[in-house]
Amino acid sequence: MRNVKISAIGTYVPPRVLTNSDLEKLVDTSNEWILERTGILERHIADPEMATSDLAVEAGKAALEMRGIDAAELDAILVCTVTPDHFFPSTACLVQHRLGAKHAWGFDLIAACSSFVFGLTTGAHLVGAGTHKKVLVIGADTMSRIIDYTDRTTCVLFGDGAGAMLIEPAEDGEPGFVGFRNEVDGSGGEALKMPAGGSRLPPSHETVEQRLHYVKQDGQAVFKFAVRRMHEISAGLLEQTGTPASDVKLMIPHQANLRIIKATADRLGLSPEQVVINIEKYGNTTAATIPLATMEAINDGRLKKGDLVLFSAVGAGFTIGANLWRWAI
Ligand code: ACO
């Protein structure tokens, strides 16, 4: 596999903000409970006319602008999402058309909260194989469309957003892709799912009345799995690549719950300075958390060219993934 690098990044969040006090008016909850149990203060919510492809296009445009290239140079577009505009056509097709990426193929990648990590791994291999020169990986989710705002156990957790990273060939010795470790464990599928709308339970009056088109989860089961597996996958990748935890400049974890992130960091022996946390501003944006947190680390000067960065996530499925990159921008 040839050396590959992340050569640009772009992000987008819809302007409307939903605070914890706004949620206090919708369900029986409190700012204190949400902050203490999750670390979230507010999240961004897309207006009704905005769909996932709209968020994805904005993030994609920002990444192309940073790199200073035209969309026609792209070879492939991967859209990581659990909230596609439609079952089909894929959101990748919509984004390809809207960006004017006339030479790109692409597809949607569904791995819930791990999908951006899986997308980076896939993009790295498309470019690493020598068959693609520019692959745009976009993580975009409009979680507000599948969240039940009468269910206090889930509605406080999620937000909407998008982020994109461009993957290109790197010269030998240039910073780039170091390694990956991805897994799925389908035995955990029942713990976090959207029960209806697919071929198992197609839409009907009953599924709508029973509110089965919304996210349902066993929060404690997901929490325990995430704490254990996010540490194991990250530690496994560090061991596999012969990387001491002290060499990691930043761990940029999926932002689901502040307590999951802190427990993972503690178990890995990372100091607070080595961990990027921005969950307070965005909540869990599913496929978008990692690029959003990466952009924040760049903007506040914490992530610089040559730094070793560990991306790590656990999501519905269950899906579990980690990537190690030497930052190249
Ligand atoms: N406001 C006030 N009270 C609440 C709320 C709320 N928003 N939600 C639940 N409660 C109540 C419960 O009803 C329960 O009350 P009871 O004891 O009277 O029954 C009490 O708080 C405790 O509930 P728990 O579920 O035990 O609370 P917990 O500390 O486990 O926190 C949470 C719940 C935040 C959902 C946590 O389990 C969690 O974060 N799990 C991971 C889920 C997740 O992140 N999923 C996202 C996708 S997967 C991923 O990204 C890893």
Average pLDDT rounded to a whole number, residues 54-58? 98
Which residues' Cβ are closer than 6 Å to ligand 1? Answer: 29, 33-34, 37-38, 113, 152-153, 156-157, 192, 217, 219-220, 222-223, 226, 254, 256-257, 284, 314-316
Q: What is the mean pLDDT of the chain?
A: 98
The closest residue, in CA terms, to atom 50 on ligand 1 is 256
pLDDT in tens, 151-201: 999 999 999 999 999 999 999 999 999 999 999 999 999 999 999 999 999
Query: Which atom of ligand 1 approaches the CA of 154 most closely?
Result: 35
Among the listed residues 283, 213, 293, 219, the one whose alpha carbon sits nearest the alpha carbon of residue 251: 293
Identify the pLDDT of residue 138: 99
DSSP three-state, residue 126: helix
C-alpha span between 178 and 86 (Å, rounded): 35
Percentage of residues of the chain with pLDDT beyond 70: 100
Percentage of residues of the chain with pLDDT beyond 90: 100
DSSP three-state, residue 139: strand
Whole-number Å distance, alpha carbon 282 to ligand 1 midpoint, is 18
pLDDT in tens, 90-134: 999 999 999 999 999 999 999 999 999 999 999 999 999 999 999
Average pLDDT rounded to a whole number, residues 232-249? 98
Contacts of 203 (CB under 8 A, 6+ apart): 196, 197, 213
The closest residue, in CA terms, to atom 7 on ligand 1 is 152
pLDDT band at 8 (very low <50, low <70, confident <90, very high): very high
Q: What are phi and psi of 193, to 5 degrees?
A: -160, 165
DSSP three-state, residue 78: strand
Pocket test for ligand 1, best of 27, 80, 257 (most atoms within 8 A of CB): 257
Whole-number Å distance, alpha carbon 300 to ligand 1 midpoint, is 31
Instruction: Cite the active site residues.
Output: 113, 254, 284
Identify the pLDDT of residue 325: 98
Whole-number Å distance, alpha carbon 219 to ligand 1 midpoint, is 5
Angle between helix 219-240 and helix 258-268 axes, rounded to 10 deg: 30
The closest residue, in CA terms, to atom 26 on ligand 1 is 220
Whole-number Å distance, alpha carbon 243 to ligand 1 midpoint, is 35
Q: Are 113 and 289 in contact (CB under 8 A)?
A: yes
Identify the pLDDT of residue 92: 99
Whole-number Å distance, alpha carbon 38 to ligand 1 midpoint, is 8
pLDDT band at 42 (very low <50, low <70, confident <90, very high): very high
pLDDT in tens, 72-81: 999 999 999 9
Identify the pLDDT of residue 188: 96
The closest residue, in CA terms, to atom 12 on ligand 1 is 153
Q: Other CB atoms closer than 10 Å to residue 174's CB: what's the count?
A: 14
Average pLDDT rounded to a whole number, residues 201-223? 98
0.95 exceeded by pTM: yes
Q: Are 44 and 19 in contact (CB under 8 A)?
A: no
